[in-house]
Copies of this chain bind each other. A is one copy, B any other.
Amino acid sequence: MLAVFGHLNPDTDAITAALVYARLLARQGLDAQAFRLGELNFETAFVLREAGVDAPALLPELPAGAAVALVDHNESAQSAPNLANLNVTRVVDHHKLGDLSTAQPPYLRFEPVGCTGTILLKLHREAGLSVEPLDARLMLSAILSDTLHFRSPTTTQDDRDAAAFLAPVAGIEDVEAYALAMFAAKSDLGDTPAEALLRMDYKVFPFGEPAQQWGIGVIETTNPAYVFGRQAELLAAMDQVKAQDSLSGVLLSVVDILNETNRTLVLSATEGKVLSEAFGVTVDGPVADLGGRISRKKQIVPTLEGYFAAQG
């Protein structure tokens, strides 16, 4: 059995890419099965509910040497805890290549596009397989999610073309309305505990040499007022996670999807200094205005990498 899974703190792309890639590999004769590495967020739960499909099971502890396929990630810090003992035979991803190595020649398919779903559509075409409506819906949802309905600077023409092809196959006539419903579901955070909000779309990055570990969470929402209403709780959760995980810094960016702005919570003077120096913004109080920098991958992490590299 080939276990197919996306990253920790799964988002819509991580979950749907595992489902779609496992289904594609099964159609090609492999015994592939999708798994997840954490709880669904509200957007993903909405997408799967609308699609009428069950969430993949939590990944069980796999025996050493088990064959696995990674989607939407490749770095060990974002993957199964025992990844080093597993046999990575396939990766489909749209992130930079991190610390992955393999024991045997793998299938790797990386493209600098906005979403793994966009690459998965190409894999269907290259395999000469038709796209089933369920897969079309899942890939389209991932593209809308990862690109914030084409608002993110990570969006490429390939993503737009893929979405345009997929919408009619998925039977989704009003893509705008569907995207808004996804974002509303994502924004309906209810009584989610503060630490869960922080960790919902959260990744740890090593910066500089010797590496400092920084945790960076993002909350993409159509309702930023709700998030800032819980500012004190969130700062307390950030402080706790920073100590607990021995991090050098913790950031939480609140991205207003519809207005395409990023206001980032500033935990301490450490984070404030880095934000003001790296991004050239004035940090005064617990919220830094990072303007239109809504993509962690394209607009936050590379700037911080460059900043810390220059400190070395």
Contacts and interface: CB of A to CB of B under 8 A. Distances in A.
Contact of A108 (B97, B103, B122, B305): B97
Nearest to A88: B97
Nearest to A106: B110
Given A96-B101, A103-B96, A126-B122, A109 B112 contact: no
A109 to B, nearest CB: 6
Contacts of A126: 122, 126
A199 interface: no
Contacts of A106: 96-97, 110, 112
B96 A102 contact: yes
B105 A108 contact: no
A108 B107 contact: no
A262 B273 CA distance: 62
A101 B99 contact: yes
| Contact residues on A (Cβ < 8 Å of other chain), bracket | 20 to 34
A137 interface: no
A188 interface: no
A130 interface: no
A126 B102 CA distance: 26
Interface in A81-127: 93-113, 122, 126
B103 A100 contact: no
A296 B232 CA distance: 60
Contact of A110 (B95, B107, B302): B107
Interface string A244-275: 00000000000000000000000000000000
B101 A112 contact: no
A86 to B, nearest CB: 14
Contacts of A105: 93-96, 110-113, 297
Contact of A111 (B94, B103, B107, B111): B107
A190 B41 CA distance: 68
Q: Which 6 A-B pairs have the closest CB atoms?
A: A108-B110, A105-B112, A97-B102, A108-B108, A96-B102, A96-B105
Given A105-B111, A126-B126, 10 more contacts: A95-B105, A96-B101, A96-B106, A97-B100, A97-B108, A104-B112, A105-B113, A105-B297, A108-B108, A109-B109
